[in-house]
Amino acid sequence: MFQADVQYMKAALVEAQKAFLIDEVPIGAVVVHNGDIIGRGHNLREHLNDGVAHAEIMAIEEACGALNSWRLVDCDLYVTIEPCLMCSGAIINSRIDNVCFGARDPKAGAVKSLYTVLEDSRLNHRVNVIEGLLSDQCSQIMKAFFRAARQKRKNISGNSK
Amino acid sequence: MFQADVQYMKAALVEAQKAFLIDEVPIGAVVVHNGDIIGRGHNLREHLNDGVAHAEIMAIEEACGALNSWRLVDCDLYVTIEPCLMCSGAIINSRIDNVCFGARDPKAGAVKSLYTVLEDSRLNHRVNVIEGLLSDQCSQIMKAFFRAARQKRKNISGNSK
């Protein structure tokens, strides 16, 4: 039985913080294998000009490199915000066993909010899901980011008057 | 109104053929912008040891590089086989306008078969979909691949007796 470990979500939050500091939507993820973090990622969509460059994808690809395999058997993924459709699909395609996410994404979440694709028995892989670990910190950093972005826009429109 | 053009599906089939020749599941994709192919991709999961390396993802990332933007506005994607959840999510995240696929994937397709995520009004982007262009060629190459793979397995088990 999967026991989510708070230390790994803290590592995912460190990744989210890295995104925050470079003005990316602050989501972070890590992939854990036998207790070791073998993949880390944070959202880099703007910096890489790449709509695929979500935190989970970056962490999964690093983990695939570490194991030299596309099958991330015996791996768990920790991510600060509920994965979207793309990242949920990548989790299934990579055969990740367990996913732990912090806070829900009611607008795009595909694990609990809009869809529950990780539990779909029609697909060739199913994933155990735990939600809510450090959810306050995971959502607070998102709120702080969007608050700052709104303030920035307000300042710009104020200056242009 | 999106008019699917057979020349682009032929280009996607050329990509699928490249995958076939290196023993990858033969799926190919291209991204078209103002009549030009700006991204090409074929499945490279085994060669890159990367579960994310589907044809659509490769084509989308090349197109993002060509436009220097994660928003693939005014872009169409042609792919030989119905996109999975991951690739459908990537299409939405990249804001692709139109998708044309050849043959359905009843086991993992997320555009028409298991899900219809590209038409989901709850998401922040919707995509026009056309299916069935050169569907026979698109499915034939898949059938040939899996037939050859079964034969190869049979030969191996025959030799080991």
* Pairwise CB contact (< 8 Å): A93 & B61: no
Q: What is the ipTM metric for this complex? A: 0.94
Over residues A76-132, the pLDDT tens digits come to 999 999 999 999 999 999 999 999 999 999 999 999 999 999 999 999 999 999 999
What does pLDDT average to over chain B? Answer: 96
pLDDT band per the 50, 70, 90 thresholds, residue B156? confident
Q: What is the pLDDT, as a whole number, of residue B2?
A: 84
Neighboring chain A residues of B73 at a CB cutoff of 8 Å: none
Which pTM value belongs to this model?
0.95
The neighbouring-strand residues paired with B39 are B31
Q: Does pLDDT of B153 surpass 90?
A: no
Thinking of the domain A3-159, which architecture would CATH place it in?
3-Layer(aba) Sandwich (3.40)
Of B49, B69, B95, the CB nearest to A70: B49
Closest Cα in chain A, distance from residue B111 (Å):
12
Q: What is the pLDDT, as a whole number, of residue A51?
A: 95
**B71 and B47 Cβ atoms separated by less than 8 Å:** no
Q: Does pLDDT of B152 surpass 90?
A: no
CA–CA distance, A24 with A17 (Å, rounded to integer): 9
Residue by residue, DSSP assigns A37-103 as: EEEEEE--HHHHT-TT--HHHHHHHHHHHHHTSS--TTEEEEEEE---HHHHHHHHHTT--EEEEEE
Closest Cα in chain A, distance from residue B50 (Å):
4
DSSP state of A132: -
CA–CA distance, B27 with B41 (Å, rounded to integer): 9
Q: Does pLDDT of A156 surpass 90?
A: no
Over residues A36-59, the pLDDT tens digits come to 999 999 999 999 999 999 999 999
Residue by residue, DSSP assigns B92-134 as: HHTT--EEEEEE--TTT-TTTTS--GGG-TTSS---EEEE-TT
Residues 6+ apart with CB under 8 A from B3: none
* Pairwise CB contact (< 8 Å): B123 & A108: yes
pLDDT band per the 50, 70, 90 thresholds, residue B3? confident
Task: For CA atoms B105, B107, B112, B116, give the dihedral sign.
Answer: negative
Number of DSSP helices (H) and strands (E) in chain B, helices first: 5, 5
Where is pLDDT greater, at A4 or A8?
A: A8
pLDDT band per the 50, 70, 90 thresholds, residue A153? confident
Q: Does pLDDT of B91 surpass 80?
A: yes
CA–CA distance, B12 with B77 (Å, rounded to integer): 9
Does B56 participate in catalysis according to the annotation? yes
